[in-house]
Each structure stands twice: as structure tokens, then as C-alpha cells.
């Protein structure tokens, strides 16, 4: 077992893990942050997407020991005081999701992408979300939500807290 420490959603979190434990399982099982979902466990569905040191990554393809010393943001970190951010509100307003299994992955991927590319158009948003699978919606409502968030951010309208 290896002792690790990392910053998760702004707070220092520690644990003692086997090397084979993925970051996804560390977040869910050791830190009780079950908002990060685990679908395929081999990198194809995107449900486990979190932000590590500013970039979206698949947390099922990263070992917990590899995240030691990093800054991790999970879906729980987007609305720490319960108020929805611009992206979350826009997705809510667009009825982006149905069962919600894929939701944390899409929201984290979209959040990382929009902060790096606030002027993204629909084509770029589709490409950025291409690695996330949804079995319910048919994707259009998800794209609509992200586009709406981008438009609202550009217009300076921010419902709730705004994402960084």
C-alpha cells in the first residue's frame, strides 16, 4: 500500500492505496465522491471523466498513485454550495440528460473544454464531447445545453455561480 495525498475540489485528501487502484475507484470508494461514475472501466465511455491539473482525463485510465500531488476536480466540485453554475444551469434548462449515468462525465468534459475554448462553435463542441457515450438522449439536447452555456457566458449572463 502507498500513502498518497492530492487536492480534490480544493481540499487536501489523503489515502493509502494499492498501486492498481484507479483514480476513479479512489474517488468513489475511499473519498466517497460517488458523483464520478464508472461505466466501462477501460476508457471508452467517458463517464469517469474528471479534471486533473486543468485537463479532462479518464479517471479509470489513471492510477490513484499517479494523481498524488495533483489538483483534481470532480462533479461535486462544480457546485460546492449547491447553486448550479452556468454550464449546469444551461444543461438543466436544455433538458440535456435523462437517466443521468453519463452526466458527470459530460459535464466535466464540457466544463474543461469551455474554460479553454469559450468561443467554441457547435462543430468544436461536438468534437470535444465525441468521447462521451450516452445511451438515452441522442446527444442533441446535450450539445444544445453546452452551446447555451457558451452563449450565456459570452453574453455575461451567469445564473448561479460561474465556473472558472
Partner 1 sequence: MKLPRFDYEAPATVAEAVELLAAHEDQASVLAGGQSLIPLLALRLARPAVLIDINGLGELSGVSVTDGFVTIGALTREFAAEESATVADAVPLLAAALPLIGHEAIRSRGTIGGSMAHADPAAELPAVARALDAEFVVRGQSGDRVIPAAEWFEGYLTTSRRSDEILLEVRFPAVMPGTGVAFQEIARRHGDFAIVGLAASLTLDDGAIGDARLAFAGLADVPVRAAEAEAFLVGQRPSAGLFEEAARRATAGLDPPADLHGSSEYRKKIAATLVRRGLQAAARNAGERQ
Comparing every residue's Cβ against ligand FAD, the nearest one is 43
User: Which of positions 28-47 make contact with ligand FAD (CB under 6 A)?
Assistant: 43-44
Binders of partner 1 in range 103-122 (CB under 8 A)? 109, 112-113
Q: CA gyration radius for the chain?
A: 15
Q: State the DSSP string of 60-115.
A: GGSBGGGGTT-EEE-GGGTSTTS---HHHHHHHHTT--SS-SSHHHHHHHHHHHHH
How many residues lie near partner 1 (CB under 8 A)? 33
**Contact of 48 with 36, CB cutoff 8 Å:** yes
Question: Which three cell numbers, joined as nine digits, stand for 109?
Answer: 468534459
Asked if 78 and 149 count as a contact pair (C-beta separation under 8 A), the reply is: no
* Three-state DSSP class for residue 51: strand
Residue 58 binds partner 1 (CB under 8 A): yes
Q: At its nearest, how many Å lie between partner 1 and the CB of residue 131?
A: 3
Which is nearer to ligand FES, 86 or 137 (by Cβ)? 137
Q: Does the CA dihedral 48-50-53-55 come out positive or negative?
A: positive
Q: How far is the CB of 52 from partner 1 (least distance, A)?
A: 8
Residues binding ligand FAD: number (CB under 6 A): 2
Which chain residues interact with ligand FES by CB under 6 A?
A: 38-41, 43-48, 58, 60, 97-102, 134-137
Which chain residues interact with partner 1 by CB under 8 A?
A: 2, 18-22, 25, 41-44, 46, 49, 52, 55-58, 60-63, 65-66, 109, 112-113, 126-128, 130-132
Amino acid at each position: 500500500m502507498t500513502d498518497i495525498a492530492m487536492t480534490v475540489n480544493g481540499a487536501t485528501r489523503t489515502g493509502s492505496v494499492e498501486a492498481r487502484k484507479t483514480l476513479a475507484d479512489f474517488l468513489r470508494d475511499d473519498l466517497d465522491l460517488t458523483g464520478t461514475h464508472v461505466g466501462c472501466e477501460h476508457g471508452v465511455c467517458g463517464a469517469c471523466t474528471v479534471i486533473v491539473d486543468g485537463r479532462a482525463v479518464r479517471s479509470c485510465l489513471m492510477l490513484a498513485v499517479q494523481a498524488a500531488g495533483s489538483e483534481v476536480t470532480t462533479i461535486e466540485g462544480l457546485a460546492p454550495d449547491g447553486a448550479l453554475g452556468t454550464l449546469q444551469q444551461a444543461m438543466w434548462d436544455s433538458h440535456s440528460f435523462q437517466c443521468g449515468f453519463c452526466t458527470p462525465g459530460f459535464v466535466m468534459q464540457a466544463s474543461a473544454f469551455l474554460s479553454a475554448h469559450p468561443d467554441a462553435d457547435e462543430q468544436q463542441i461536438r468534437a470535444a464531447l465525441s468521447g462521451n457515450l450516452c445511451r438515452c438522449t441522442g446527444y442533441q439536447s446535450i450539445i444544445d445545453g453546452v452551446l447555451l452555456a457558451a452563449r450565456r457566458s459570452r453574453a455575461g449572463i451567469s445564473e448561479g455561480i460561474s465556473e472558472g
